[in-house]
Amino acid sequence: MEKPYVVGIDIGGQTAKIGIVNAHGEILAQTVIRSDQHTDADLFIQSLCETIKNLAAANKIELSQLRGIGVGAPNGNYYKGTIECAVNLKWGGNRLIPFAEIMSKTIGIPVALTNDANAAAMGEMTYGAARNMKNFIMITLGTGVGSGIIIDGKVLYGHDGFAGELGHTTIVRENGRACSCGKNGCLEAYTSATGVARSAREVLETTTRKSLLRNLPIESISSKDVSEAALQGDSVALEIFDFTGKMLGEAFADFVAFSSPEAIILFGGLTKSGDLIMKPIVENMEKNLLPLWRGKIKVLFSQLKESDAAILGSSALAWDL
């Protein structure tokens, strides 16, 4: 039987996005489930498989018409099909999960897996802002900070499948914040959505400065709250975005030094803040670049919907199954 469809799945710390894709790169149907409501990987995989079955049935697609399933997940290993020590996933933790193998056996369809940021980079290269680019870096700014590195048109996986953990490069070497990975001072601890919220709480707890953010319960402040306050001209919120952009810009200058990308493309929830994050990033990146790269490296927002880039990118893995 002809198998004209594949499934793309993007697993994040809070949700998993699932889409059925045709050979033209069109997402025919998609849905979202929670990824943070299970502490057991097997139960989460069962939930994913049931969702795929229901989504296919609702769109009159037989499971036998699905060529394969591509998955993008934190700490996903393309070579082994495993998720390893994914601390941002409640069911991940300090474990090695043979995710592709378990899912394939559960649903009876071949499964390929890669890092979620790599999947987003593949989607952007095929359908988005990185079309016709062969050298770029994708940075995902969500619950964590992920990265996908494309060199000569190919994803950089490294010898073990884990190349590209730029979110866990050390940006603060003395008294750096504790990161969920177990290190201190990681870029992710400062510039993820949770890092921005953490910066807000630190300012509010250690100063008496006036801020719109003081109208909110301090323990529930989110990066979205900080963005909304900044758009209203709140000085504390504006300084937090300047600080976050400075951290990212300085890190990007280092990233440019090792791979000389044509562009750095930003993806994820934090990009919704627009110029609040873009302006300090570009300013601080340019300030810290070697002269030979100044004015040459583009920093761009993703051109794809947040759900589409990772679904399309991960689905691309499935055509080769």
| pLDDT score at 92 | 86
- pLDDT band with cut points at 50, 70 and 90 for residue 310: confident
Confidence (pTM): 0.86
Domain ranges in the chain?
5-122+307-318, 132-302
- CA dihedral 167→169→172→173, nearest 10 degrees, is 150
Which stretches of 108-207 are DSSP H helices?
A: 116-127, 187-191, 193-206
Cβ atoms of 73 and 311 closer than 8 Å: no
Q: Which of 18, 36, 43 is nearest to 28 (CA)?
A: 18
| pLDDT score at 1 | 58
- pLDDT band with cut points at 50, 70 and 90 for residue 156: very high
How far is CA 70 from each of CA 105, 110, 243, 310, rounded to the nearest angstrom?
A: 15, 9, 36, 10
| Alpha carbon distance 86, 93 (integer Å) | 5
How is residue 178 written in tokens?
Answer: 């504790």
- The architecture in CATH of the region 5-122+307-318 reads 2-Layer Sandwich (3.30)
Please determine, looking at this structure, whether the domain spanning 132-302 carries the CATH number 3.40.50.12780: no
Mean pLDDT for the stretch of residues 23-38: 93
How far is CA 57 from each of CA 8, 48, 64, 178, 318, rounded to the nearest angstrom?
A: 16, 14, 12, 45, 20
Q: What are phi and psi of 316, to 5 degrees?
A: -60, -30
